[in-house]
Copies of this chain bind each other. A is one copy, B any other.
Amino acid sequence: MFLSKSCLYGIRAAIYMASVEGNQFMSIRHISDTLDISFHFLTKILQTLTQDGIMSSYRGPNGGIMLARSPDAILLIDLVRSIDGDQIFTECFLGLPNCGNAVPCPVHDHWATIRTDIAQLLSTIKLSDLAARVNTFGHRLSENDILSSIKKPESQ
């Protein structure tokens, strides 16, 4: 698995939040129910995103969590970096420490290219793009396919 489950959950939650019209506080419970993700686990992940300024939260009734800025201004790589760090964009393919241009492992050059491509790709994908695809094409965000079953109850 390229990304940790924490990261996957965080991304899915962010896409869902961006896919809902009007950026308002939304309860984590609602998100975890909708996407079928453990509530407390998701809470911790969203805390990380909040601490990194990608989301903002508010306690109390009608509180919840919301995107701290426009989905246009949130890149997929921002979410990945916040949750999984940027190790995957820097570390050696063979997991060797201190692998770099000076003393590279045998796969170094090859992998560096791919790694850059991945970072490049994730840097071009905006949260708004992903959300738009969800809304337009009914893409799936949960294992239970709740979203698309809601949007397309007659299909399948």
Give residues in A with beta carbon < 8 Å to B. 1-3, 5, 8, 11-12, 15, 76, 87-88, 91, 93-97, 99, 103-108, 110, 113-114, 117-118, 121, 125, 129-131, 133-134, 139-143, 145, 148
Contact = CB atoms under 8 A, between A and B. Distances in A.
Given A117-B117, A143-B97, A106 B15 contact: yes
A94 B11 contact: yes
Nearest to A103: B140
A91 B145 CA distance: 17
Contacts of A133: 106
A88 B2 contact: yes
Total copies of the chain = 2
Contacts of A129: 106
A105 B143 contact: no
Contacts of A97: 143
A63 to B, nearest CB: 27
Nearest to A87: B1
A105 B139 contact: yes
A107 B130 contact: yes
A130 B104 CA distance: 12
A12 B140 contact: no
